Amino acid sequence: METHPSLLLLLVLSCFATASYAHNVHLSALNQSLIVSTSTTPGEVLKAGVDQVNISWSYNQSFPAGTDTNYTTVEVKLCYAPVSQAGRDDRKTDDALDNDKTCPFDITEAPYKRSNNSFVWTVPQDTPTATYFVRIFAIYNKHEKGYGQSTDALKTTSLFQVDGIVSEEKEVSAALPAFGGSFGYGYAWLLMLFLVYI
């Protein structure tokens, strides 16, 4: 029996849709079963590529015994604070973690332990300038089962800033004064324009 190509395509697409739905987890459905803290002070500015942060986490003992039975690993992530998400769809928060763009940066991954967990993280050189917090997910079978974060529910406390990579626009504007002070500034720009349009 011949199978119509469009039927095969529909079958494949439905499989992808089912898989995507099955893997989607909502942050609001997770227990906030981890206590997370950082060595930063509120409003502290860290230099990308230079400064370090000590991140600590443990199981929240206020949860019933057995809540963390199936936790196997933790994923530690750097997350944008709301003040650095405003007007930025590429940083938008979504309760569905598959669509969430709050925490795009991986810091580390480690086996799950109830207590005495810490990691010294050097802020990477390519970290964007922004205000951040740290969120940690407890994982089982590649699915988020619990979490904790270094800030409150509204994400307004214990935030820190990173002085990171400079945007292209700022790099260009910073370079212009250097050109302005050199001989032949006008001729250099005319030559550049000429080369672009030939």
Closest CA to 136 of 79, 67, 64, 81: 79
Percent of the chain with pLDDT over 90: 69
- What are 117's two structure tokens? 């967990």
pLDDT over 70 (residue 174): no
* pLDDT value of residue 132: 98
| 111 backbone dihedrals φ, ψ, rounded to 5° | -60, 145
pLDDT over 50 (residue 183): no
Residue 9: pLDDT band with limits 50, 70, 90: very low
* pLDDT value of residue 12: 44
Answering whether pTM is above 0.85, one says no
Closest CA to 136 of 38, 39, 41: 38
Residue listed under structure tokens 């089912």: 18
CB 60 within 8 A of CB 148: yes
Distance of CA 21 to the CA centre of its chain: 22
Average pLDDT score over residue span 183-190: 48
Closest CA to 70 of 168, 124, 140: 140
Closest CA to 104 of 125, 83, 75: 75
Angle at 79 between CA 76 and CA 85, to 5 degrees: 170
* pLDDT value of residue 187: 47
* pLDDT value of residue 190: 54
The full set of domain ranges for the chain reads: 26-171
Number of C-beta neighbours around residue 108 at 10 A: 13
* pLDDT value of residue 48: 97
Average pLDDT score over residue span 133-137: 98
Residues 15-73: tens digit of each pLDDT: 444 343 346 899 999 999 999 999 999 889 999 999 999 999 999 999 998 899 999 99
* pLDDT value of residue 144: 97
The DSSP annotation for 103-128 comes to: --EEEEEEE--SS-EEEEEEPPTTPB
Pick the CATH number of 26-171 from 1.20.200.10, 3.40.50.720, 1.10.3720.10, 2.60.40.1930: 2.60.40.1930
Q: Is 43 left (phi over 0), alpha (psi -120 to 50) or beta?
A: left
Sign for the pseudo-dihedral over CA of 85, 148, 22, 113: positive
